Amino acid sequence: MNRLRVYLVGLVLSLCSPALALGPDEILDDPALENRARSISAELRCLVCRNESIDESNADLARDMRLLVRERLVEGDSDSEVMAFIVERYGEFVLLRPTTDGVNIVLWIAAPALFLIAVLSAGLYLRQRANATEQTKDQLSPDEEKRLRELLKE
């Protein structure tokens, strides 16, 4: 399994040659539609690439996906319909912005939840520090004070 993955990745890396991502021939004439296509493309992952969106990728598959996105848009699909279409075809893996369903909710609430926990514990700590009494080296322990008194008596 692992070995297979290594080969696959090697193969994949050789497919992605750095040249031009989005080609001039792909751009739609309608600027509004093209803008929508760009923002959708930035949210979709190139399947055969490293960590790249199809908007940035140079792989042939990414080009196919870009063309597919534009094709759907021209046919009048809404953004979410295009996304749904692509996900159905290529799987959840293509989404660079993970969905919020199922366990993914953990991922999404992680940031606010962690922040809340951190703020609460920091708040508790700060209150405790504010109420604590200062213990410094200058204060003598009862034993030391006793000894000091004895020494002074002599």
Partner 1 sequence: MIVELGHFALILAFAIALAQSIIPMVGAYKGWRDWMVVANPMATVQFLLVAFSYAALTYAFLVSDFSVKLVVDNSHTLKPLIYKISGVWGNHEGSLLLWVLTLALFGACAAWFGGNLPATLQARVLAVQSAITAAFMAFTIFTSNPFTRLAFPPFDGTDLNPLLQDPGLAFHPPFLYLGYVGLSMAFSFAIAALIEGRVDAAWGRWVRPWTLAAWVFLTIGIATGSWWAYYELGWGGFWFWDPVENASLMPWLFAAALLHSAIVVEKRETLKSWTILLAILGFGFSLMGTFIVRSGLLTSVHAFAMDPERGVFILMILAAFMGGALTLFAFRAPILEAKGVFSTVSRESALVVNNVLLAVSSFVIFIGTMWPLFAEMLFDRVLSVGPPFFNMAFTPFMVALAMVLPIGAMMPWKRGNLSRAMQPLWGLAAFSVAMGAVTWALQTGNSPMVPIGLALGLWVVLGSAADLWMRTGRGQVAYRLKRLARLPRADWGKATAHTGLGITVFAVSALMGWESEDIRVVQIGESYDKGGYTLTLTSVDRVEGPNYVSTMATIEAHRNGQLVTLLQPEKRFYPVAGMPTTEAAIDYKILRDLYITLGDPQDNGGWAIRTYIKPFANWLWFGCFLMALGGVFSLSDRRFRVAAGASRKSATAVPAE
- String of contacts with partner 1 for each residue 66-105, x by CB under 8 A: -------------------------xxxxxxxxx--xxx-
Residues 30 and 38: beta-carbon distance below 8 Å? no
Q: Which of 22, 73 has the CB closer to partner 1?
A: 22
Residue type present at position 62: A
Report the nearest approach of partner 1 to the CB of residue 134 (Å). Answer: 4
Question: How many residues belong to the site for partner 1 (CB under 8 A)?
Answer: 51
Q: E-assigned strands of 18-92? A: none
Positions in 111-130 near partner 1 (CB under 8 A)? 111, 114-115, 118-119, 122, 125-127, 129-130
Q: Which of 78, 121 has the CB closer to partner 1?
A: 121
CA 135 to chain centre: 45
Backbone torsion region of residue 28, taken as left when φ is above 0, otherwise alpha when ψ lies between -120 and 50, otherwise beta: beta
Question: Measured between alpha carbons, how far is residue 92 from residues 37, 85, 95, 99, 151 in Å?
Answer: 19, 11, 6, 8, 80
Give the interface with partner 1 as residue ranges (CB under 8 A): 2, 6, 9, 17-25, 27, 42-43, 45, 50-53, 56, 91-99, 102-104, 107, 110-111, 114-115, 118-119, 122, 125-127, 129-130, 132-136
